[in-house]
């Protein structure tokens, strides 16, 4: 069924009009494509196909995907779509690195939506999201001081978020936690979309973070990376 939908998408004349580029000739650098459980966000636990694109201009101190900064394989977008379809699943997450660092990621996102997948995008918050297909659920990081990349937050992105999207704070310590509260208050972030608080793995105790959130009656979701609980760190998960 998925193959049939994909064939229709790749050959439809409407596609040729709405996306000037052809998926057979447009290429992205891909670090890995794999099938796993979504470990984060409101989609946690859902079987999901992950497309991890290579490269990221940021260098967060806690980064757990440094292996995706370099290397990877150049793939035509049509080949990416075919590999995605081979898993015969419904949910797709495009991640990185920073997927939007490759501009043709926008084409991939649109074609995944056209093919009928439920698509989410994990992005650093440092890249322009204004042209991301509106059907894509955007999970946008807000970089904290502890990340070392807080100056890269592109605050103009906030106006392109909708209720279906999510804002994610990855927290290193209590200073990050207090900064996050102040940022939510100052920028009215809780009026935009749901907010995620995620402790840095092996650095901030999740139980401690949970106690702070309960104490302060915050309207945020505390999340722990499910895939790391199940399988530890490493590629392909
Ligand atoms: S934005 Fe993401 S991929 Fe890039 S350095 Fe930070 S944590 Fe790593």
Report whether residue 91 contacts ligand 1, using a CB cutoff of 6 Å. no
- Say if strands 91-95 and 73-76 run parallel, antiparallel, or are unpaired: unpaired
Q: What is the whole-number distance in angstroms between the Cα of residue 9 and the centre of ligand 1?
A: 32
Q: Is 199 left (phi over 0), alpha (psi -120 to 50) or beta?
A: beta
pLDDT over 60 (residue 155): yes
- In the prediction, which pLDDT does 21 show? 65
Q: What is the whole-number distance in angstroms between the Cα of residue 168 and the centre of ligand 1?
A: 13
Closest-lying ligand 1 atom to the alpha carbon of residue 59:
5
Which structural domains are found in the chain, ordered by start? Answer: 2-231 (3.20.20.70)
Predicted confidence (pLDDT) per residue in 181-206, tens digit:
999 999 999 999 999 999 999 899 99
Report whether residue 98 contacts ligand 1, using a CB cutoff of 6 Å. yes
Q: How confident is the model at residue 20 (pLDDT cuts 50, 70, 90)?
A: low
Report whether residue 65 contacts ligand 1, using a CB cutoff of 6 Å. yes
Overall average pLDDT of the 71-79 stretch? 98
pLDDT over 90 (residue 16): no
Q: Are 19 and 111 in contact (CB under 8 A)?
A: yes
- The Cα–Cα gap between 96 and 116 comes to 22
Nearest CA to ligand 1 atom 5: 59
List Cα–Cα distances, 36 to 1, 42, 80, 148, 222, in angstroms.
21, 16, 17, 29, 21
What the block records as the tokens of 230 is: 């199940």
Q: Are 120 and 93 in contact (CB under 8 A)?
A: yes
- The Cα–Cα gap between 62 and 42 comes to 22
Write down the mean pLDDT value for the chain: 92
Q: What is the whole-number distance in angstroms between the Cα of residue 235 and the centre of ligand 1?
A: 14
Predicted confidence (pLDDT) per residue in 87-146, tens digit:
999 999 999 999 999 999 999 999 999 999 999 999 999 999 999 999 999 999 999 999
Its pTM stands at: 0.91
Q: Strand, coil or helix: what is 229?
A: helix
Backbone angles phi, psi at 225, to 5 degrees: -70, 105
What the block records as the tokens of 22 is: 């052809």
List Cα–Cα distances, 192 to 37, 126, 185, 189, 195, in angstroms.
27, 18, 12, 5, 9
- The Cα–Cα gap between 221 and 19 comes to 37
pLDDT over 60 (residue 148): yes
What the block records as the tokens of 138 is: 């955007």
The DSSP secondary-structure symbol of 200 reads P
pLDDT over 70 (residue 218): yes
Report whether residue 96 contacts ligand 1, using a CB cutoff of 6 Å. yes
Nearest CA to ligand 1 atom 8: 63
Structure-model confidence comparison of residues 203 and 15, the more confident one? 203
Q: Strand, coil or helix: what is 96?
A: coil
Nearest to 169 by CA among 184, 158, 152: 184
């Amino acid at each position: 069924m998925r193959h049939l939908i994909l064939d229709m998408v790749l050959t439809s004349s409407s596609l040729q009009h709405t996306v000037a580029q052809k998926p057979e000739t447009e290429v992205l650098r891909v670090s890995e494509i794999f099938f796993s459980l979504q470990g984060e966000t409101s989609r946690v636990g859902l079987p999901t196909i992950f497309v991890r694109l290579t490269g990221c201009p940021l260098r967060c101190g806690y980064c757990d995907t440094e292996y995706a900064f370099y290397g990877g394989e150049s793939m035509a977008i049509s080949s990416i779509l075919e590999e995605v379809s081979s898993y015969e699943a419904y949910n797709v997450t495009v991640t990185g690195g920073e997927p939007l660092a490759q501009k043709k990621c926008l084409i991939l996102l649109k074609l995944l939506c056209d093919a009928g997948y439920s698509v989410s995008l994990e992005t650093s918050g440092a890249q322009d999201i204004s042209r991301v297909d509106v059907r894509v659920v955007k999970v946008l990081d807000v970089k904290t001081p502890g990340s070392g990349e807080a100056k890269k937050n592109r605050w103009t992105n906030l106006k392109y978020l909708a209720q279906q999207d999510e804002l994610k704070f990855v927290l290193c310590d209590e200073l990050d936690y207090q900064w996050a509260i102040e940022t939510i208050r100052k920028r009215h972030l809780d009026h935009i979309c749901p907010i995620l608080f995620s402790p840095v793995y092996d650095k901030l105790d999740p139980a401690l973070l949970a106690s702070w959130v309960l104490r302060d009656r915050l309207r945020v979701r505390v999340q722990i990376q499910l895939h790391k609980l199940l399988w530890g760190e490493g590629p392909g998960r």
